[in-house]
Amino acid sequence: MNFGPLKNASGNARVYSGDGGFAEFWIIVRDEEIAKAGFITNISEECMLSCSALAEMAEGMKLSTAYSLKKNQLTEYADINEFESCTNTAIAAIKETILNYQKAVTEIT
């Protein structure tokens, strides 16, 4: 199950959609790879599906690969073509989460 915040997450970000909804992701990073991903959203059941599929898809990916994910990759992976707004918000949130993780690592070193 990938719904919900992750304790001791390496990175986190919340991104708002145009309609006031949001997608928020947490990642745990090990060796520049996403070991675990979790999310919450307040938008809709369809967005839950998009976010869950993205969290599942991102686990095991190198950060650079996950950051490069495109909307069509997610929609193909989860067969969710009709959820365009949700997939855009989910992808923006995971990218922002990765950026926040990288900023934190840079500040520490």
Task: List the chain pLDDT tens, one digit each, 109 residues.
Answer: 799 999 999 999 999 988 888 999 999 999 999 999 999 998 778 889 899 999 999 999 999 999 999 988 998 888 877 677 788 899 999 999 999 999 998 887 6
pLDDT of the residue at 75: 86
Residue 107 has a pLDDT of: 80
Which sign does the torsion angle of CA 85, 17, 3, 28 carry? Answer: positive
What's the pLDDT score for residue 20?
82
CA–CA dist 100, 52 (Å, integer): 20
Predicted model pTM: 0.92
